[in-house]
Structure 1
Amino acid sequence: MRKTIVGAAAIASALIASITLASGAPAIATTGTDSSAVRGTPSKQGLTRTSLPVLVDPAADLTANADRLNESWYVTAHVSAGGHRYGFLAHYLSAGNAKQGNAASSVSITDEETGWYTSSSLTLPPRTGLSDQQGVDIHTDNITWTGDAKEMKLRAKVPEGTIDVTFRPRGNVLYNMGTGYFPMFGDAKYSNYEYALPTVDTSGTLTLNGRTEKLHGQSWLDRQWGPLPGLTTGRASWSWMNLNLSNGDKVSVWNQKYDDKKNNFATIVKPDGTQTVTEATLKPDESTRWTSPTSGKSYPTRWKVSIPGEHAKLNVTVYAKNQELTSPGPRYEGSAAVKGTYGHRPVSGSTYIEVTG
């Protein structure tokens, strides 16, 4: 099993993007392994790397590693089935380590036209359902997820039925902060690793209430691990979005807060493989808060996203208000629509918004 070892020099390289952000200009890293990609022309290769020192391996690091804290495999999709548009999520999180902590296995489905929503959340002992098989190999009562960076199979269950799909990633990897490494909350003791396969062709079937329909669309697969502070004290929180835009840009946006420490940024991968790290803000519309009858927590259901370096002003609106997951703790995982301007031009798209704290 491959292990990522990070020394002082590697961390310094990984923080190039953060330093550039502080200077007020975006950090840009071309992707690709051939000279044409470095020149910024499109590459026909599959998963590619950036020219910055990359600290994750998008294929090898899909595999579970018991030495890692807070391992997460997270996929969201926007698909068509039976004449409807749906969003669905499958998320496995092992929090803590093998001796102390817990795991959560979560699935949700949102009808993006009617607002119908269903979910299944399980709290499990830590690392339940994981193995040391290469690639993704997760088996719980509501998720069976196997495969590698070329092809994966997912069977996910909710009370009303099942999702059975094949994932085929293509295009460029999105390396958060340009290298796959960033200090959560801007604090090096919370060193996290994250990358995404943001363009995943998705096909299969959706079965609800005994009716099976063919399904097709696109998914975003996100992989993350690293230490985090306790989230039950209310001191730590974050909002995150994975923006899939009509101009072809894929954007991972983080707004993180721990006491007075903040770490807000966007990582953007463009259709030609160029990656940009720049400042970004997610501003909730407080007047649109929905209060969960289950947890009592309230969440905004509209946001304004600003990415000054891209001249982007985006409005994000959830398709259904009641998209809360409660295991292992309450959090919002909402399928949402995106509209606004980007590079001074109209743009639309889709996203999932994650809100904790």
Structure 2
Amino acid sequence: MRKTTVGMVAVAVAASFTLTSGGASAATATGSSAKHTTTSRQGLAQTDLPTFIDPAGDLAANADRVNQSWYVTAHVTAGGHRYGFLAHYLSAGDAKQGRAGSSVSITDEDTGWYTDSDLVLPPQAGLSNKPGVDIHTDNISWTGDAKEMRLRAKVPEGIIDVTLRPRGHVLYNMGTGYFPMFGDARYPNHEYALPTVDTSGTLTLGGRTEKVRGQSWLDRQWGPLPDIASGDAWWAWMSLSLSNGDQISVWNQKLDRQNNFATILKPDGTQTVTEATLTPDRSTLWTSPTTGKSYPTRWKVTIPGEHAKLNVTVHAKDQELPNTGPRYEGSAGATGTYDHRPVTGSTYIEVTG
């Protein structure tokens, strides 16, 4: 069992990541012991955690980065129902090559009803060079900064129109916001999350508008990747928000070898990097009638360092985004034990390959 609490050792950890990243890539996002920002109800507060990213500044698009992703998932109530919704913009490749994807989905977590809008676009279409988030596509309009954002996202049946207000602490993946994807120095990636985002507004479906209230998780990532379409590389990822207040980003990556880890954000801002496993229940595979791909609909999450054993089950089987991947983006619930105590939670699980 290997478990690292990020704090006193953060500078040493960051230095080791610089060495494994190949140098040049890490040099574009220098780690230091200078103060960095976390979110709060008043906007951005300060923390002494050394990181490789700036949570406020790095919300903006950067034309020099490859595979830029802005990803928000929510668990909200509206009209007496519990809903999950996703809005995701991904620009794969650079401005000259690749493509972009603009995806929106809504899941009724009570009934299992699901809908999506999954658009393929030219590379970096819909992005601007303005500060903060500024994304405009046919199904997503997303603007604002780390204090407050406005999101309007469309599906064939209606519109999500919400205000997003981050609070609490930033989750820095691997404790510094940098990690080699697949454990391979050829793929230096940067990722952080605003995991506690107060979400309010309206949800209009079938001409009926209901007030929305709940929580979102905003994830920001960029960095080179291998050709996922070849089938040689895949990953499963979860964003777990637990009833004990812990927020967890769990990665299960596979290229030449398995690379699994979890970054845990405690309510007091402490961050822990530790071993974790995501084990699919192959007896629960759902096969897409659109693409023919099969995805697990139940998973077991084990985090030995936290004495955690969680069962994750999707709220609807059909949550595939067929055009931008294809990939699975599933609203799900979690139950189990954590630190020997019962917990529940909400998550989205992303599965590629």
Aligned partner of 1:325 among 314, 321, 327: 321
Structure 2 partner of 1:23: none
TM-score, normalised to structure 2's length?
0.89
- The one-letter amino acid paired with 1:116 is W
SS in 2 for 1:61: helix
| Residues 1:314 and 2:310 aligned together | yes
| Residues 1:338 and 2:334 aligned together | yes
Which whole-Å CA distance do the structure 2 matches of 1:140 and 1:270 have between them?
Answer: 35
Which whole-Å CA distance do the structure 2 matches of 1:233 and 1:184 have between them?
Answer: 17
Bigger mean CA deviation after superposition, 311-320 or 44-53? 44-53
Which whole-Å CA distance do the structure 2 matches of 1:130 and 1:277 have between them?
Answer: 33
- The one-letter amino acid paired with 2:297 is T
SS in 1 for 2:229: coil
Structure 1 stretches lacking a partner, 5+ long: 1-8, 19-31, 38-42
SS in 2 for 1:232: helix
Q: Following TM superposition, by how much is the alpha carbon of 1:206 offset from its aligned partner in structure 2, in angstroms?
A: 0.1
Structure 2 stretches lacking a partner, 5+ long: 1-11, 22-34
Q: Following TM superposition, by how much is the alpha carbon of 1:14 offset from its aligned partner in structure 2, in angstroms?
A: 3.7
Structure 2 partner of 1:242: 239
Aligned partner of 1:264 among 255, 260, 263: 260
Structure 2 partner of 1:6: none
Post-superposition Cα deviations, 1:153-205, rounded to whole Å, max 9, x if no partner, equal 00000000000000000000000000000000000110000000000000000
* Residue correspondences, number: 330
Preserved CA contact (<8 Å) 1:240 1:255 = yes
- The one-letter amino acid paired with 2:67 is N
Aligned partner of 2:272 among 256, 272, 276: 276
Structure 1 partner of 2:230: 233
Structure 2 partner of 1:3: none
SS in 2 for 1:188: coil
Preserved CA contact (<8 Å) 1:196 1:223 = yes
Identity of matched residues, %: 77
- The one-letter amino acid paired with 2:301 is V
SS in 1 for 2:61: coil
Q: Following TM superposition, by how much is the alpha carbon of 1:17 offset from its aligned partner in structure 2, in angstroms?
A: 12
Which whole-Å CA distance do the structure 2 matches of 1:205 and 1:265 have between them?
Answer: 36
Which whole-Å CA distance do the structure 1 matches of 2:15 and 2:255 have between them?
Answer: 23
Q: Following TM superposition, by how much is the alpha carbon of 1:74 offset from its aligned partner in structure 2, in angstroms?
A: 0.1
TM-score, normalised to structure 1's length?
0.88
Q: Following TM superposition, by how much is the alpha carbon of 1:263 offset from its aligned partner in structure 2, in angstroms?
A: 1.5
Which whole-Å CA distance do the structure 2 matches of 1:167 and 1:309 have between them?
Answer: 33
Post-superposition Cα deviations, 1:195-242, rounded to whole Å, max 9, x if no partner, equal 000000000000000000000000000000000000111100000000
- Across the aligned residues of Structure 1 and Structure 2, the Cα RMSD in angstroms comes to 2.3
- The one-letter amino acid paired with 2:119 is L
Aligned partner of 1:115 among 112, 116, 128: 112
Structure 1 partner of 2:74: 77
Post-superposition Cα deviations, 1:38-72, rounded to whole Å, max 9, x if no partner, equal xxxxx998545664420000000000000000000
Query: Following TM superposition, where does structure 1 have runs of at least 4 consecutive aligned residues deviating by more than 6 angstroms?
Result: 15-18
Preserved CA contact (<8 Å) 2:36 2:50 = no
- The one-letter amino acid paired with 1:94 is S
- The one-letter amino acid paired with 1:152 is M
Q: Following TM superposition, by how much is the alpha carbon of 1:329 offset from its aligned partner in structure 2, in angstroms?
A: 1.8
Structure 2 partner of 1:216: 213
Q: 1:326 to 1:49 in 2, by over 3 A?
A: farther
Structure 1 partner of 2:192: 195
- The one-letter amino acid paired with 1:103 is A
Which whole-Å CA distance do the structure 2 matches of 1:127 and 1:112 have between them?
Answer: 32
Which whole-Å CA distance do the structure 2 matches of 1:225 and 1:33 have between them?
Answer: 19
Which whole-Å CA distance do the structure 2 matches of 1:173 and 1:229 have between them?
Answer: 28
Which whole-Å CA distance do the structure 2 matches of 1:331 and 1:139 have between them?
Answer: 22
Post-superposition Cα deviations, 1:112-153, rounded to whole Å, max 9, x if no partner, equal 000000000000000000000000000000000000000000
Post-superposition Cα deviations, 1:3-53, rounded to whole Å, max 9, x if no partner, equal xxxxxx9963447999xxxxxxxxxxxxx879xx9xxxxx99854566442
Which whole-Å CA distance do the structure 2 matches of 1:268 and 1:51 have between them?
Answer: 17
Which whole-Å CA distance do the structure 2 matches of 1:354 and 1:280 have between them?
Answer: 16
Which whole-Å CA distance do the structure 2 matches of 1:49 and 1:186 have between them?
Answer: 30
Please list, as runs of the form range in 1=range in 2, the aligned pairs for 1:23-172 lying within 5 A after superposition: 47=44, 51-172=48-169
Q: Following TM superposition, by how much is the alpha carbon of 1:267 offset from its aligned partner in structure 2, in angstroms?
A: 0.3
Post-superposition Cα deviations, 1:314-341, rounded to whole Å, max 9, x if no partner, equal 0000000000001222100000000000
Preserved CA contact (<8 Å) 1:151 1:166 = yes
Which whole-Å CA distance do the structure 2 matches of 1:169 and 1:143 have between them?
Answer: 19
Which whole-Å CA distance do the structure 2 matches of 1:110 and 1:17 have between them?
Answer: 40
Preserved CA contact (<8 Å) 1:131 1:137 = yes
